[in-house]
Structure 1
Amino acid sequence: MQRVSRNPDGVEGRHTLRPRRMKMAKKTLRSLGTERSMSLAVLPLRQRLNRRRLLGLSMAAVGTALVSPLIGACRGAGEAPTATTAPSGPATTPAPASPAAAETPAVAETARYGGELVIANEQNPVSLDPHFVRDVGSSRAMFYMYDPLIKVNQDLDLEPWLAEQWEVTEDGMEYTLYLRKDVTFHDDTPFNAEAVKFNLERQWDDQTNTRYIDDFKRYVESIDVVDEYTVRITLKELFVIFPRELLAFGSGHMISPSAAQKLGQDFAQQPIGTGPFKFHEFVQDSHLLMVRNDAYWGGKPFLDSLRVRIIPEQNVQMVELEAGNVHVSFSVQAKDVKRLQDTGITVINQPVPTASWISFNLAKGPTRELAVRQAIALSVDREAIVREVLLGYGQVSRGGSPKGWPRYHEDIPIDPYDPEQAKRILDEAGWVVEPDGVRVRNGERLKVNILSTQLERGVSYGLMNQIIQQAVEKIGIETELRTLEWGAYLDEFRAGEWWHVTFHAQNANAKDLVGAAIDPDAYWNVNQLGKVTEGELVQVAEQVREIYRKMNQELDPQKRVDLWKEIQLLIQEHQLISWLIHWDFLVGVRPEVKDLVVKPVYSDTLYNVHRTWLEQS
């Protein structure tokens, strides 16, 4: 059995115990604008990821007109790449990151109480109830009101939080959580084992129907109170990433049982947790305001309040950051770096475990056909995207993992840019080009629906979908592009009723994972594989399910990597998706913000924000 605990200095320690039971596009793009599959290593594993670095660059001036017909998707088919509109040299090859401020010797500053930290967020949170949050933007907006049982720290390791230590039986089927005894909810009700039992059993309640219901029904057998501050969780089947997946993200964030029972479905209107900040008000499309929890068990926060401003427009976020109306933005893009640095703003650059790809709807429309999927994959110039959109702040994706990371394999091929081969594939499949340029077979026009959204993070989802649209039109595929608000986009992405193709990205919260839910039964499944009812993909779906089952139950990390490689090969063979790029996570922070720790992960990005403070002018 493994025990995880915190010593008096807050450092994680382990002691071996005796065994127990065990998102319209014009032909020329004029400007650059711009789920989560959480999973990973079994508890005893500890792999350091020290990627927090300041961005040290000497970039030439970069304007806003960075994307044009020069990009691969906008070139004529078969043309050689032409010069980019961005300057050469450092603008396309970022210099190595300089050490983070926290790792650089400096004169110690005295933290001060007071002030309001303002964070820009690209979307409204889908809910203020953490048990209904399973997306990146929502977590970065509202998790400050709550605490998880187990926390993912700045190195992406698991550490004790509301559970100050835990034990896992050797067979991985039973978790015993030992809870902190000095925690109360914002309504002054106690946090204890009964509160944990209420929160976790809420996950599988049919009437509540949280976003984690399927996971809890599948994996959790029982939650038992051992004593006032001890809880035992017994699993139905082995799930080695259980603590990271279900105790450290939304379902593991504790809400007040008293408030939840009193308010019912209205709980999200008056949320109550144990976190360092308490809910004050939420104005849709404007802001979420939280105020200091003076009684926070982790110490009185330095900030008086924390305001999350809802600013979907990435360029507006940058203007507000420069003006000092926003302190932190997670949506810095490569085109912004030089300008922000020239105004004294720190840009933190962190490669993160985020992958992006073209999602295909395998259960509906022309993308059910392998030839169509392969042709679309070949039509997009990934190198041009890295060069002209990311300006070098990223890389082409090989199998969904960045180079040098555990699940990266050189023998997994990259989908090449070959529009002429794409055309040949469609020709051989009987799709004939008509005089209007669109392919037809048996009287049916080859048309794909492209789902898009206005979301702008490190890249613009809208821009990426426009690039894909232009690329596929050049090989004779008709398109319709529909842009939805982020929440509606996510609903349609999951439902798969209209779309055939979309740019998508997902985030993992550990280095040795891949942020892409290929599992047919996953909440954020990326390709509707589980809804396929005919053809060879039915068998492929079963193969993928079985590999995921083995992977979720495999204690050996190398064997889990090997199993994932089997999925990578199936993705390639059947073109289940088409991997695109990895982009570096660029975060803009104003100089008056002190002791802000940014985790190298998109979800729940800020670490220990209660220790962050503002230098007063």
Structure 2
Amino acid sequence: MNKYVLTALLAAAPFSSALAQSQLVVGYEADATSLDPAQVTDLNTMHVLSHMYDTLVKLGPNGSFQPVLASKWQMSKDGLTYTFTLKPNLKFANGDPLNADAVVFSFDRQLNKNNPGYKFGPFPFADFYYGSVASVRKVNASTVEFKLKSPNSAFMAALSVPTSSVVNPKQALANGKTFALSGGGSGPYMLEKWNRGGQLILKSNARYWGNKPKSTKLVWVPIVQESQRAVALQSGTVDLVINPASENLAKLKSGGYNIAQKAGPHIWWLGLNLTKAPFDNKLVRQALNYAVDRKAITEGVLYGTGTPAVQPLAPMQLGHNPNVNPYAYDPKKAKDLLAQAGYPGGFTTTLLVPTSGSGMQSPTQMGTAIQAYLGQIGVKVNIQQMDWGTFLSRIGAGAAKSNLDMWELSWMDTAVDPAFVLDPLLSSKSFPPGFNTGQYKNAAVDKLMDQGRAEADPKKRDVIYQKAMVLINEDVPWVFVDHAQQVVAYNAKVQGMALDPISPFILKLSNVFKP
């Protein structure tokens, strides 16, 4: 997409000069997929939906939960009942009341096959986030009660993610499958127009219960090629771009553009098929981790937009253990471990690499760099590239069924809770069709995961998950590579831009404007 195409996209919807002065044009990585928050799995769409919808609570900068639609809440002593009181006089963007019925519907339609909204799914994250919910019911017009099957310390975090957004029941039921094209929420913005594959325009919600947004309109323009995002910013066709190519950052800075950059709850790794040799041997897996120079990759390939990783949890997450084995770059030690494992001459393997993908951080360049490092210890890596959709279908079937060796993958934790990283990715309960593609299993780690989810005290949870990090770091079920940073480049005239200190990967632009 060149600057002329971008200009045409922006010109497709006319604006008055007054409105043009109060709109913010955002270049993001791909077009949104659905305006129904319960259906969404990709980060690009979450950027948009975070402005159209509200959740009951949000995660604050100090890690505590803060009110959004709920004014207060309480948990029973046994940890099984959560009761939320809504703020008074809440309304959806179209004027319909936002009450307890709407909250119940928003969750019940995802969990209850008898709910009339269930048939308009699928809702892929329902069991993932709300599997511990036994029931959700209206107590009165402003009060909602959730009953859990067992104590779950990650439950509040689950309520803070876009999947937990409260939707307008009338609009959802009346529109059915087409609700995904229009949406219906209570956030600071509402949909004005969406040209699929082109620009998506949000306008301010006059009925918004909170502080009014600073920009009258948010115009979202998909720019799939990362190299073109900097071009779009420099040409003035957009005011702000998400994740421009890392190699363009220095030039943008020297050109007077601002860069917001922050690490968040993200992990990028090479998956390994633990069901077959040589990856079923821990010494081999450790050798691969010693063979990769993470620091050089984050500096030379990612240009400082990542930090080296040796465990699933990022440094800012509860449970991150700063004292685990750093697997410092040591090709000699890697060769020695391969010899001990019975592979003194190395081996040949295949690495699956997507051509692009959400959160995948220049997958081709990353794969080529890792291929070179492993080649230095005698491991010949054949790279097999494929499009993102085909890649995901093979990964989703599981490494054993798809006969995979190694593959690139990443995970971003929107809930910012260790349970939503470890449970899906490394629990033996999450073998395919779950997300534990390589079928890692450690009974001690499983036990710690269960304890961590059930423990209410954050300090005790931190200790539990740090113990799990030690075991996972020693087992190295993956080749750990890095924790990504969110990067946003923007015009120097743009004001109010700041990344969320806890969850920087989802943009919050209500206070951002260009005079």
TM-score, normalised relative to structure 2: 0.83
Tell which deviates more after alignment, 341-350 or 187-196: 341-350
Q: Structure 1 residues 470 and 123, CA, compared in 2 at 3 Å: closer, same or farther?
A: farther
Shift of 1:463: 1.8
Map of 1:447 onto structure 2: 349
Shift of 1:521: 4.1
Shift of 1:407: 3.7
1:290 paired with 2:202, answer yes
Q: Structure 1 residues 481 and 526, CA, compared in 2 at 3 Å: closer, same or farther?
A: farther
Distance in 1 of aligned mates of 2:245 and 2:319:
26
Q: Secondary structure at the match of 2:268?
A: strand
Map of 2:437 onto structure 1: 528
Task: Name the aligned partner's letter for residue 194 of structure 2.
Answer: F
Map of 2:411 onto structure 1: 506
Asked if the contact 1:374/1:422 (under 8 Å) is kept, the reply is yes
Equivalent residue in structure 2 for 1:183, among 72, 85, 90: 90
Summarize deviations over 1:74-124 as a string: whole Å, max 9, x none. xxxxxxxxxxxxxxxxxxxxxxxxxxxxxxxxxxxxxx9953211121123
Distance in 2 of aligned mates of 1:471 and 1:527:
26
Asked if the contact 1:415/1:579 (under 8 Å) is kept, the reply is no
Map of 1:518 onto structure 2: 426
Distance in 2 of aligned mates of 1:189 and 1:364:
56
Distance in 2 of aligned mates of 1:612 and 1:217:
33
Which aligned pairs between 1:56-95 and structure 2 lie closer than 5 A?
none
1:546 paired with 2:453, answer no
Map of 1:469 onto structure 2: 371
> Paired residues, what number?
485
Structure 1 vs Structure 2 CA RMSD: 3.2
Q: Secondary structure at the match of 1:580?
A: strand
Map of 1:220 onto structure 2: 133
Distance in 1 of aligned mates of 2:361 and 2:285:
23
Shift of 1:487: 5.1
Shift of 1:549: 1.2
Map of 2:395 onto structure 1: 493
Task: Name the aligned partner's letter for residue 598 of structure 1.
Answer: L
Shift of 1:486: 4.3
Distance in 2 of aligned mates of 1:135 and 1:524:
19
Summarize deviations over 1:410-429 as a string: whole Å, max 9, x none. 43102232334434444454
Q: Structure 1 residues 399 and 488, CA, compared in 2 at 3 Å: closer, same or farther?
A: same
Shift of 1:485: 4.4
Equivalent residue in structure 2 for 1:411, among 315, 323, 328: 323
Map of 2:514 onto structure 1: 614
Q: Structure 1 residues 364 and 592, CA, compared in 2 at 3 Å: closer, same or farther?
A: farther
Summarize deviations over 1:495-543 as a string: whole Å, max 9, x none. 33354323333334588859564334459966425xx4xxxx55x1x43
1:120 paired with 2:22, answer no
Q: Secondary structure at the match of 1:598?
A: coil
Q: Structure 1 residues 240 and 524, CA, compared in 2 at 3 Å: closer, same or farther?
A: farther
Shift of 1:251: 2.6
Q: Secondary structure at the match of 1:605?
A: coil
Q: Structure 1 residues 186 and 493, CA, compared in 2 at 3 Å: closer, same or farther?
A: farther
Task: Name the aligned partner's letter for residue 505 of structure 1.
Answer: S
Q: Structure 1: state its 5+ residue gaps.
A: 1-111, 440-445
Shift of 1:475: 3.6
Equivalent residue in structure 2 for 1:313, among 225, 241, 245: 225
Distance in 2 of aligned mates of 1:253 and 1:605:
14
Q: Structure 1 residues 449 and 391, CA, compared in 2 at 3 Å: closer, same or farther?
A: closer
Shift of 1:154: 5.1
Asked if the contact 2:152/2:454 (under 8 Å) is kept, the reply is yes
Distance in 1 of aligned mates of 2:94 and 2:182:
11
Map of 1:34 onto structure 2: none
Distance in 2 of aligned mates of 1:509 and 1:263:
28
Asked if the contact 2:353/2:363 (under 8 Å) is kept, the reply is no
Asked if the contact 2:319/2:461 (under 8 Å) is kept, the reply is no
Shift of 1:550: 0.7
Task: Name the aligned partner's letter for residue 309 of structure 1.
Answer: V
1:163 paired with 2:70, answer yes
Distance in 1 of aligned mates of 2:309 and 2:90:
44
Tell which deviates more after alignment, 448-457 or 222-231: 448-457
Map of 1:91 onto structure 2: none
Tell which deviates more after alignment, 308-317 or 397-406: 397-406
Summarize deviations over 1:453-478 as a string: whole Å, max 9, x none. 42486942332122223333444444
Map of 1:267 onto structure 2: 179
Map of 1:15 onto structure 2: none
Q: Secondary structure at the match of 2:510?
A: helix
Shift of 1:220: 0.4
Q: Structure 1 residues 509 and 213, CA, compared in 2 at 3 Å: closer, same or farther?
A: closer
Map of 1:577 onto structure 2: 478
Map of 2:47 onto structure 1: 140
Tell which deviates more after alignment, 465-474 or 308-317: 465-474
Q: Structure 2: state its 5+ residue gaps.
A: 1-18, 114-118
Task: Name the aligned partner's letter for residue 30 of structure 2.
Answer: Q
Task: Name the aligned partner's letter for residue 511 of structure 2.
Answer: R
Q: Structure 1 residues 592 and 520, CA, compared in 2 at 3 Å: closer, same or farther?
A: farther
Map of 1:66 onto structure 2: none
Tell which deviates more after alignment, 510-519 or 594-603: 510-519
Task: Name the aligned partner's letter for residue 136 of structure 1.
Answer: L
Q: Which has the higher helix share?
A: 2
Task: Name the aligned partner's letter for residue 201 of structure 1.
Answer: D
Map of 2:14 onto structure 1: none
